[in-house]
Amino acid sequence: MGVSNGGHKGYYRMNILVHVDSAFYRWYVYRKIFQMLKTLPATDLIGLDRIEVYEDGGKSKLKGQCRLGTYYCKEDNHGAYIELFLRNIYRGFSYRTILWPFFGEALLTNVLFHEIGHHCIKTYKHGIGRDRGEEYAQQYANKYTRMHHKYLIRIRKPATILISALKWVVGHLRHLFATRK
């Protein structure tokens, strides 16, 4: 499926290819990625030919590690592209986890924006070294993930307080059961 934003924040054109068995999930992932791309400045997407999403894959050469996504630079006649691996992003859960409103979409957004951050480094930020590249890509991902998921900022403080309270309760319950033995 091809993507064109029709003039929203400039113009970009690229393909989003989703390799998933279910037609519904193929459409849903495509739609979500298209919405995510609208958050980004169109200039950051120039030169990016396609985004490919796979259900499985992404085996790393490093033992015991799986790639969540990979950015491939432009080579010869092939444009730059990004591969995302849903099974690795959701760490063993079904790729259907994307339907979970907070959890699923936020994880996919962060990984996609991280890989687009690598594209920006290669395209615009030539002075950034390899060691600083991961840090820049993660800062880019965090910045635009917060912009795309504005509601996450609103719930972060209450969620932090709730998690702290739950940890306190669990700690006290453990202490209570430990003293009864």
Q: What is the pLDDT of residues 143-176, one digit of tens each?
A: 888 888 776 656 556 666 776 777 788 888 877 8
CA atoms within 13 A on the CB side of 137: 24
3-state percent breakdown (helix, strand, coil) of the chain, nearest 5: 55, 15, 30
Q: What is the pTM for the complete model shown?
A: 0.72
The yes-or-no verdict on residue 2 having pLDDT over 60 is no
Q: Give the single-character DSSP code of 78.
A: B
The yes-or-no verdict on residue 62 having pLDDT over 60 is no
The yes-or-no verdict on residue 138 having pLDDT over 50 is yes
Q: What is the pLDDT of residues 77-99, one digit of tens each?
A: 788 899 998 888 877 666 566 66
Which pLDDT band, with edges at 50, 70 and 90, does 116 fall under? very high
Q: What is the pLDDT of residues 8-53, one digit of tens each?
A: 444 456 788 888 888 888 888 888 898 889 888 888 888 888 899 9
Query: What type of residue sits at position 16?
Result: I
What are the helix (H) ranges across 76-149? 86-89, 103-123, 130-148
End-to-end CA distance of the chain: 62
